Structure 1
Amino acid sequence: MPQSPTPDQVRQAQAKAEKLYQELKSGADFRKLAVSESDDAQALKGGDLGWRPAAQIPTIFADVIPDLTKGEVSQPIRSPSGFHLVKLIDTRGGDGKQISREQASQAIFQRKVNDELEAWTQEIRASAYVDNRLDKQ
């Protein structure tokens, strides 16, 4: 969808996502549909996001993935850029159990905190470097 979609554009995108979801439920090949229908950067890879630890799962998918079983496709998920369909191919690591919604949310929250802390640390270092250089002049 465009950056500021009209209500009609949202309805059209949602209808397309629902249609694709129904096709997938009827046995359509996820990879082929991703290549032919998706605008995502991973479309030409069949929509494959690769193996990711829970902390690296895109936030918009974090609430959906723990509820999926292997091979299952999510209902359309709305984001600012459009609608997404997620298929869980497999899980690995840990004890083989899927993580809970709370664990996924906590991992994503922790990643965001760590990212913010790192950015803040870099900002302080840069400021200290500039201050130090000014003091030497």
Structure 2
Amino acid sequence: MFKIAQTATVATVVALAAAPVMALAQTAVPPVAPQRAAPAPVKPKPAPQPVAAAPQAPAATQGLASSRAAASDDVVAKVGSTNVTADELRAYVAALGPREQTAFAKDPALLSQAVRMLLANRLVLQELQAKKWDQQPTVAAQLERVRENAMVELYLQSVSTPPANFPSEDELQKVYDANRAALLMPRQFQLAQIFIAAPKDADKATEDKAKQELDEALRKLKAPGADFMAVARTETDTGDLGWLAETQIRPEIRSQVMGLAKNAVSEPIRLDDGWHILKLVDTKASYTRTLPEVREQLVQQIRAERANLMRRAYLAELQKQHPPVLNELALSNLFEASRK
């Protein structure tokens, strides 16, 4: 029996597995007017204070460590003395980004993984609290920095979230029109393959055996009514490489495939790992994806870009009203001292 291409062989045929990433035309998104600065999000503190000795976790971890009582029908998971309730899980999912929420909706198994991660976190939290590890001054100081950074990030998100009705249909259409070139799907080929392993650094015996297998495969393929898949079928593989974009196929393979008619079989192609015989099962012409096809992705990208612009505008205005002053000499002396 001849070998069918498996994962490693597919990687040999495929030059680039990732689909092209669309980059939005920057001019397509309307500019953001600077916002008036709100009060500084975090008030500096003279020195981080140790966490008071108490059974509950510090603010940075208190959410995960919560073990509030809940009705039995509201508990979706439990570990040790803490529960994960349906409300907590809904809040967890709601705090995720649009892409993560979409992934949860498409694959419920991801939700189970998330719950397991929460339970693992709570086990660790129970142990560190029992040891009062979080009350050590150095740990408390680090937790305070984490808390402040989280507060700043959440606040910046709150002041840089685009309106719910953004983008409008008109704005969405303009961005789509400006990015038509990036939305072009290249020609695609559905391929099947017979692969005969013969590394170029193989000894003569291995090379001779591979050549015999190749000749036998070609003889069977040239027989009247030959079935390509039957020639190389094994018990677990079919030899179907599926649909591959033109840009995903290695140049040595692509040049052969592009000259084939539908259902035609290529001549043997020698690559570093062995011999490849390809069959062109079908072809899809290149086309530009329609707005309905890319609407969700496009809206997410436009909103993310607008949020980034709003954040930068807010920070620029805040620093304009409160210009930072740096003592460059003191800074240079600080680094100079650290080298000694």
User: Could you give the per-residue CA deviations for residues 23-69 of structure 1, whole angstroms, max 9, x where no partner exists?
Assistant: 11213322222323xxxxxx944211111110111343112101111
Instruction: Give the superposition deviation at 1:20.
Output: 0.6
Aligned residues between the structures: 91
| Structure 1 counterpart of 2:214 | 17
Please report the RMSD computed on the Cα atoms of aligned residues, expressed in angstroms.
2.6
Q: What is the 5 A alignment of 1:92-111?
A: 92-94=284-286
Larger radius of gyration: 2
Task: Report if the CA contact (8 A) 1:18-1:76 is conserved.
Answer: no
Q: Does 1:51 align with 2:248?
A: no
SS of match in other structure, 2:283: coil
| Structure 1 counterpart of 2:227 | 29
- Distance across 2 between alignment mates of 1:7 and 1:81: 15
SS of match in other structure, 1:88: strand
What's the % identity of the aligned pairs? 31
- Distance across 2 between alignment mates of 1:94 and 1:80: 30
Q: Does 1:67 align with 2:229?
A: no
> Which letter maps to 1:16?
E
| Structure 1 counterpart of 2:205 | 8
Instruction: Give the superposition deviation at 1:2.
Output: 5.9
Instruction: Give the superposition deviation at 1:92.
Output: 1.0
- Distance across 2 between alignment mates of 1:32 and 1:79: 23
> Which letter maps to 2:284?
R
More strand by share: 2
Task: Report if the CA contact (8 A) 1:17-1:84 is conserved.
Answer: no
| Structure 1 counterpart of 2:305 | none
Worse-matched range after superposition: 12-21 or 27-36: 27-36
> Which letter maps to 1:32?
A
Question: 5+ residue gaps in structure 1?
Answer: 37-42, 96-134
Task: Report if the CA contact (8 A) 1:17-1:85 is conserved.
Answer: no
> Which letter maps to 1:71?
N
User: Could you give the per-residue CA deviations for residues 66-119 of structure 1, whole angstroms, max 9, x where no partner exists?
Assistant: 111111111211122111110011111238xxxxxxxxxxxxxxxxxxxxxxxx
> TM-score, normalising length from structure 1?
0.55
Could you list the runs of 4 or more consecutive aligned residues of structure 1 that deviate by over 2 angstroms after TM superposition?
1-4, 32-36
> TM-score, normalising length from structure 2?
0.24
SS of match in other structure, 2:258: helix
Q: Does 1:85 align with 2:281?
A: no
Instruction: Give the superposition deviation at 1:22.
Output: 2.2
- Distance across 2 between alignment mates of 1:59 and 1:44: 29
More helix by share: 1
For residues 11 and 60 of structure 1, do their structure 2 counterparts lie closer, same or farther at Cα, with a shift above 3 Å needed?
farther
- Distance across 1 between alignment mates of 2:239 and 2:261: 18
- Distance across 2 between alignment mates of 1:90 and 1:79: 23
